[in-house]
Amino acid sequence: MKKSIKLAISLSLALVVATGCSSKTESAVPDKPAIELYSIAQQSLQAGNFISAIETLEALDTRYPFGPHTVQVQLDLIYAYYKNSDTAQALANIDRFIRLNPTHKDIDYVYYMRGLTNMGADYNLFHDLFNIDRSDRDPSYANAAFNDFTRLIQRYPESEYVADARKRAIAIKSRLARYELSAAEYYMKRKAYIAAIQRAQHIIDNFADTESRIGALKVMIKAYDLLEQPTLKANAEKILAANVS
């Protein structure tokens, strides 16, 4: 009997807490017409108050799923999530938009935002602030961003975002090449010379237009020397000489 009473009290308390939280969340965004809420969201965006903008835009998206600003609300949410460094939510909303609006006039912008979001996720604060070389960090987001920008460039060559996408793709390509070079140098330290040569060759094959090709050739020269392969070493030296002259 006592257990039943305790259980009932616990359930009642849980219900009160849940109701209180729910009421608090609902009251965070005033109960106003869609056009007024949209105006409030725009003011928050312009002021750089992205958390407030997200709360209002989410309420708009939930309360008025077929309102006059439905599509623009979704686009604004993508931007607000990106600016708030909320990668998961930004990507989820981007993918939802692409799935539901594959032929929308602003679809190029959405792909561009996908690239920016993935590139932002790859961003390393310590690298910029303290000039710490972290080229060995996981390149998953960088790869995704490169694919996003490449897709935008190929599918929408006339888009106003293509010029910037090209610049960013070049920067990401250099970052990916540095990652491969870091891996090659790691294998050299471990005396895994064949693996080091393979990673270096990957740079020559796929990132020959980046500065990392020089480091890759140096890795190959050293590895071939340690493997006592004078002919292959000489060939790599010739290529290196041609690249630095």
DSSP state, residue 228:
T
Give the integer Cα–Cα distance in Å for 72 and 19. 31
Q: Which of 6-15, 70-79, 144-153 has the least mean pLDDT? A: 6-15
Tell me which residue has tokens 């039943």.
Answer: 4
Question: For 19-59, what is each residue's pLDDT tens digit?
Answer: 444 444 444 888 889 899 999 999 999 999 999 999 999 99
pTM here? 0.80
pLDDT at 123: 80
Give the integer Cα–Cα distance in Å for 218 and 225. 11
Give the integer Cα–Cα distance in Å for 210 and 216. 11
Residue 211 phi, psi (nearest 5)? -65, -20
Give the integer Cα–Cα distance in Å for 235 and 226. 15
Question: Could you tell me the CA-to-CA distances from 206 to 25, 119, 174, 194, 210 in Å, in that order?
Answer: 50, 20, 11, 18, 9
